[in-house]
Amino acid sequence: MTKFLITGGAGFIGSHVVDLLASQNHQLLVIDNFSTGKSTNLAISDHVLLVDGDIRNYEMVIDYFSDFRPEKVIHLAAQAAITTAIKDPYEDASVNILGIINVLKASKKVNVDRFVYSSTSAVYGDKVTLKIVEGVPWYAPDNPYGVSKFCAELYVRITDIQHTILRLGNVYGPRQVPIGENQVIARMMRHFFKGDDFEIFGDGKQKRDFIYVTDVAEAIKLACFETYVQDNVYNISGGKSYSVNSILVLLERICEVEGYKWTYDLLRKDERQNMIMDIRSAQKNLNWTPKVSLQEGIKKTVEWWSK
């Protein structure tokens, strides 16, 4: 049994990480301020303790760290909406940069033996051409969100705590609630099941690299016990690209409503045209590979939304 402290553990990705680790009888302390997370995402048990807290409050952070004495920290708490980052870069930086400084400082003080940071493909910043991106020195974030997440990576890199950085692709699945104009699959689902407005930017031919949330949770768990290197950076995604239109067709087929009328709008200036991520390093060094196909993942997501 290992003691894990998980920031943002009541959120979309975090709650699936908690599910996985709790099922293996690890002891978990979850810190979440419920800005996007929900307590109902978690099954509280003898193995899972949930506390309300904001990582920008260092006194609160160090109190929980000192009392719980975690062996491993999984840092998922973040301001994740690109639109929010553009409108209020101060708020974005206060969570994504100042917040992680607090968590790293507390981790060092209690001698955490592994720090896993959840980053994003937004650090690459390529919005025009199809680029297979790897964990190499090629960075050009083109919005405040990508900048703040990359800056946080740099703070992780200079710590002397053993650490792993995971750059996530387009994660989707149950419990995902759209944040602003992010998360295209969740936005489709909310439109389809709740009737919320939804417009496809551009012609829908732009491609994304999608990854189902339980595959991400598995990668995070493996990163906590990584032994190949001390501080590697891995892309965690499907390693394939699918157009937005192809996702629409798949959703129509699963819901048996082929020919559904979708609304198209102008392409946003910050909209990426194509994105595919090279996951070979994670496959080799973490012994990880995505298991859930896009069709299976969409079906599971539809089942969750239908309930």
Instruction: Tell me the C-alpha distance between 265 and 307, whole Å.
Output: 30
Active-site residue, selected from the candidate residues 145, 172, 212, 234? 145
> Is 145 in the active site?
yes
Q: Which contiguous run of DSSP H or E holds residue 82?
A: helix 82-87
- Residue matched to tokens 């973040």: 78
> Cα(157)–Cα(148) distance, rounded to whole angstroms?
14
CB distance 94 to 238 below 8 Å: no
DSSP string, 94-122: IIIIIHHHHHHHHHHHTT-SEEEEEEEGG
Tell me 45's DSSP state.
B
Q: Are 258 and 161 in contact (CB under 8 A)?
A: no
- Cβ contacts of 152-158, under 8 Å, gap ≥ 24: 152/96, 152/97, 152/100, 152/117, 152/119, 153/117, 153/119, 153/123, 153/233, 155/97, 155/100, 155/101, 155/104, 156/100, 156/104, 156/115, 156/117, 156/231, 157/231
Catalytic residues, which ones? 145
